[in-house]
Each structure stands twice: as structure tokens, then as C-alpha cells.
Amino acid sequence: MSQQILKTIAGVIKQQRRQILLCTNNHVQCLTKLQHSDETQREVQHHGNYANDWWNLNGAMKALHSLNAIRVPFIRDGLVARGNISPDLVNTCQVLKDQQILEVGCGGGILTEQLARLGAQMTGIDLSDELICVAREHLSHVADPKLCDLIQYKIEPLDIHVKDKLNYYDAVVVSEVLEHVEDKVALLTSCVQCLKPGGSLFITTLNKTIPMWLGGVLLGEYILRIAPIGTHHWDKMISPLDVQRILDTMGCQTVVINGSTYDFVRNTWRWINTTDMCYALQAWDVIQSLSMAALMSFGVIHGAGSIQRICFMLYRQK
């Protein structure tokens, strides 16, 4: 690679980095404001109203409990496929031992506890005082005392959490949360900043489709009352393609998108060959794990569109 090309790329990076810094800082400021917005508080209060029923397997959150049957293996297998797991642990009940995992919007801890049972060192954060209290209370009564040493719950906004945990986690999990957030770019920005180089981001959410709205929301909430009325809103849903596009600008490569659906009658989830209803997504942080020389080559090979991703990585190293 000629010195002129390197000089040109370096100049573009320097210029673009200023823009990314400004853009990303605006996202973080926006996220901070959203923590205290009326809409965010309504979402927090809505879910907090069901705190006392959170661990009722046949209650309002029963679909979240049954979702563990597919989302826990999805996360486990995704980390194994990424090469994070020691071969000695792969086929054991402690397959996630020593993995630092953050769950954003952990609620009452339904998923957090299950991942900890596989050995993961879990941190669960949520904006709801009521739900974190429920999570802590339930954890204090579990039969396995070792579980308490593997889980830490915090009532803390993500943008505050990332300040102390920059590039810290092997994985960040955002399960059934994205459809309740207004500024998804700001949320995902902070999630990616929490990841170690090469870390994995796991997302499960509802797709923004007519079948999902009719079958999942109108039928599930307003007719069958499987979920509380008003839990989901059309304008907050997002397609997997839009999530992938957002993550691509942040230097994350989407490697898996699986479609899923919920059986209201059997209270079970299963994988399907379409994402029309719900989906699970895994993305790898690939840009940050590259050396500067590799970044330069990446920029030259993939063109100007990749410069933004490089600049985002530089911001995270700032």
C-alpha cells in the first residue's frame, strides 16, 4: 500500500472521526434525556406494575419464561460458535463460566438467572426500581447459593453504566427490550461500547410487520390477553434489516438472524424459517478487534462506506 493512499485514508479518518464524535455524543445525550422522558417513564411504570407477578410461570410474563427455552441456547451456542468458550467447558453445565455478560433491561431477572446457571458472570441493569427489587428478592431465595455470587443487579441507565464498563463485556444481551425504546441508535451505541474487542451482541425482539401486529399484538394483548394491553406499540417495532444497518455503522457484523414465533395455546416458542413475527440476532464486534494497519487496509478495500465504521471504533478507543 502506497504512502499516498495511507495518508489519504488517515486524513479522511481524522475528518470523519470529528463527525462521528459529534454524532455519537449527541446520541448519548439523547439517550440520557430519554431515560427521563415521559414516554420512557410510562414504559418503566407499565412493566413495574407487574412486578409482583413477574415470577409467576402462568402469569402476565409467562411468555418471557417460556422464551428461555430458545433464547438461552441461542446465546450459549452463539458464544461457543464465536470461539469464546474453552473446549473443556463446551459440553458441560458450566459452559459460560468466566464469561462477563451484561443484560440490558433485565427486568425481574428471568433470563439473567438462567445464564448465570450456565456459569456466566451476569450483570443486570434496569430503570425500574420495582423490577430490580423483585430480581434481587428472587435471587435471595434460590436454592443454589453460588448463584448469588454470579449475579449483580443495578438500577442504572445504560449510558451511565458504560462509563465504568467501556469495552468490558464478552457479550451484551438486549432481549425483548428494543421494542420498548424510542432511540434505538443511542441504545445500541452504548451496548456496542460495552463490548470487548470481538464481543457479541444478542438481540431478541418483535419484527415490524402486519402479521406481527395482527397476530402478536392485537390477538395476544387485546383478545387472548396473553400479554398486558399496551405492552407493544407499532412505532417502536423495528425490522432485523434496520437493526443490521445500524450495527453495521458501528463496526458490528451481523452473523445470525433466526425467526421465531410464539404458540399461545401451548405457551411455547419455536424457530421458524421467516422473521415475519419475531427474531433473534447475533452480531460480532469485528472492527475494534482489528489492528490499525488492518483498519487501513479495510478502508481501502471496502471504500468510503467503511470509514464511518473505523471512526466509530476510534471513538470507542478515545
Is the model more confident about 136 or about 1?
A: 136
Reported pTM: 0.83
Q: Could you give the 3-state DSSP secondary structure of residue 85?
A: coil
Please state, rounded to an integer, the average pLDDT across all residues of the chain: 85
Q: Assess whether pLDDT exceeds 70 at residue 12.
A: no
Q: What is the pLDDT of residue 8?
A: 45
Q: What is the pLDDT of residue 40?
A: 83
Per the annotation, does 175 bind a ligand? Answer: yes
Q: What is the pLDDT of residue 9?
A: 44
Per the annotation, does 266 bind a ligand? Answer: no
Q: What is the pLDDT of residue 211?
A: 96
- Of the candidates 254, 318, 253, the one whose C-alpha atom is nearest the C-alpha of residue 287 is 253
Q: Are 185 and 29 in contact (CB under 8 A)?
A: no
Per the annotation, does 126 bind a ligand? Answer: yes
Q: What is the pLDDT of residue 39?
A: 84
- Of the candidates 125, 104, 273, the one whose C-alpha atom is nearest the C-alpha of residue 201 is 104
Is the model more confident about 318 or about 209?
A: 209
Q: What is the pLDDT of residue 3?
A: 54
Q: Assess whether pLDDT exceeds 50 at residue 22.
A: no
Cα(218)–Cα(215) distance, rounded to whole angstroms? 6
| Among the ranges given (86-100, 187-201, 280-294), the one the predictor scored with the smallest mean pLDDT | 280-294
Per the annotation, does 176 bind a ligand? Answer: yes
- Give the up-direction half-sphere exposure of residue 138: CA atoms within 13 A in the CB hemisphere: 23
36-206+281-286: CATH topology: Rossmann fold (3.40.50)
List the chain domain ranges: 36-206+281-286
